[in-house]
Amino acid sequence: MTWLERLKTMEQETTILKESHSIDDLSQLRLTKFTNQGLNLKDAKEVTKRLELRDIQKDDRILCYECNHLKGIASSWRCGNWRSAEVGIKESFSGLPNEIVNLLQRCNGFKKGYL
Ligand code: SF4
């Protein structure tokens, strides 16, 4: 099965999300999640590889892509927990530049999503 066929299957079969345990599956799930968030496939693969490396290195930093509070889509990201994350002083300043979303960081507002 090609990765594209697998991605299509995963999008249709939500039960796979609950049953995946291997690193291979995690990579595929991340790819699916990130493309669903609006990243193109090239960028989604890059983010997935960065997270794989982070996991191997046992780095405790996170990416906004993993956070339940990340809102919007690629290039118009917003933080839904801007106050705790200290992103701005009011909601209208909750926009997140791509540089921040793509930065491995420690964030007080982070809440882990399903991946
Ligand atoms: S709470 Fe932190 S990690 Fe989550 S989206 Fe906002 S800035 Fe990113």
pLDDT tens, the chain, 115 aa long? 555 555 555 455 443 444 455 656 899 999 999 999 999 999 999 999 999 999 999 999 999 999 999 999 888 999 999 999 999 899 999 999 999 999 999 999 999 987 7
Is the shortest distance between the CB of 85 and ligand 1 below 6 Å? yes
Q: Provide CB contacts within 8 A for 93, sequence distance 6+.
A: 82, 87
Other C-beta atoms lying within 10 Å of the C-beta of residue 10:
18
> Which sequence spans correspond to the domains of the chain?
3-11+20-101
Rounded-to-integer distance, Cα 26 and Cα 2, Å: 16
**Ligand 1: which atom is nearest the Cα of residue 108?**
2
Is the shortest distance between the CB of 81 and ligand 1 below 6 Å? yes
Is the shortest distance between the CB of 64 and ligand 1 below 6 Å? yes
The residue type found at 6 is R
Instruction: Output the pTM of the full model.
Output: 0.78
Is the shortest distance between the CB of 67 and ligand 1 below 6 Å? yes
pLDDT at 5: 59
